Amino acid sequence: MRFGLGLFNKKRINLIIQDHVIRYLDMRQPELLEVKSSGERYLPEGIIQDGTITDRETLLTILEECVEEWGIKGREVQFLIPDSKLVIRKHHIPSEYKVEEIKGYLYLELGSTIHLPFEDPVFDYVLLETGEEKKEILLFAASEQMVNDYSTLLTSAKLKPVVADASCVALYRLIYLKQLTSEEDHTLCLQFDIPAIQLSVFHNHKPYFFNHLKLEMDYKSWNFKHHSTGIQQLQWQGDAGFIHGLVEDKLLEIDRIINYYKFTINNGQQGITKVIISGELPELSYIQDRLKSKLNVPVLLLDQSDQQLPSQFDVVLGLGLKEVQLC
């Protein structure tokens, strides 16, 4: 399972830049989840807003400090497309097109049968099903300008960006490696982070659905506890009832998406069979308990017992598995 937006594959480090944090990972043996080094740096509010870099100068200064502190100057880097800027949707193409012809066909269809919210897309796809008359694909697309904004930022910080990836695919690589899902499962993957929830559904080890749910929380109510290891712990200092209420609101949205997946996407024939939860929110156990009370399927927390890093690094670990042939 490989997804990349058009650059070459080589030994590299892994970096994610989100609205609120930069995380880095260098893996010694990815298939064993053996970490060589790691680091994270939480960002001041407003430098990146909903995936858009709004204060490039400050962000570059912070990134340069991280590059120096982590000793990664000159390294090749794979990074993630901001989830809020990624378009993932199903599309049908005529069956007569061979695999090597699909990308060319997709470029020809831009603006006619394929409509995207930007004019300069870079994209890749996953082949879902092949019928007698049509092939069904899942199209991953992002703005070339946005990808270039992040690429040039990394280059300015003396790094060498080589491939862009999607967080939902990165997370599923880790889930697959841990053997938490099967080909028959319809697995709902939930990544709970401070700014948003990333929601994706995988079947046959392929992504079939993706959504991005924003979380409106007061950034100043989070306390980022620093540790000598470079790994930080989040503590919510606001009203506990507020964050529980926010989670409950989002669980209602997730429930609607689960019903949409079963009754609209699968015509009532097949629903979610498993839920796997990860992320940086301290409330993951509470979320697991609430989902268990609502759903008649297994609800699992992504187990950290066999890895060196806490759950906020799950997506970065999955990104580091890109070199490993998993599925």
Residues 274 and 176 in one domain: yes
Residues 195 and 160 in one domain: yes
**Domain final residue pick, 99, 123, 143:** 143
Residues 314 and 300 in one domain: yes
Whether residue 154 contacts residue 79, with contact meaning beta carbons closer than 8 Å, is answered with: yes
Q: Which helix (H) or strand (E) holds 14?
A: strand 13-17
The token pair at 70 is: 């982590």
Q: Tell whether 281 is covered by a domain.
A: yes
User: Of 112, 139, 113, nearest to 125 (Cα)?
Assistant: 139
The letter for the amino acid at 23 is R
For residue 131, the domain's CATH number is 3.30.1490
For residue 210, the domain's CATH number is 3.30.420.40
pLDDT tens, residue by residue, 24-41: 999 988 888 899 999 999
Predicted TM-score (pTM) of this structure: 0.90
pLDDT tens, residue by residue, 274-327: 999 999 998 999 999 999 999 999 999 998 777 888 889 999 999 999 877 554
Structural domain containing residue 98:
87-143
Q: How many other CB atoms are found less than 10 A from the CB of residue 52?
A: 12
For residues 135 and 115, give the distance between their C-alpha atoms in angstroms, rounded to a whole number.
18
Q: Tell whether 3 is covered by a domain.
A: no
pLDDT tens, residue by residue, 160-210: 999 899 999 999 999 999 999 999 999 999 999 999 999 999 999 999 999
Q: Categorize the per-residue pLDDT at 147 as very low, low, confident or very high, splitting at 50, 70 and 90.
A: very high
Total domains in the chain come to 2
User: Of 250, 236, 311, 305, nearest to 276 (Cα)?
Assistant: 311
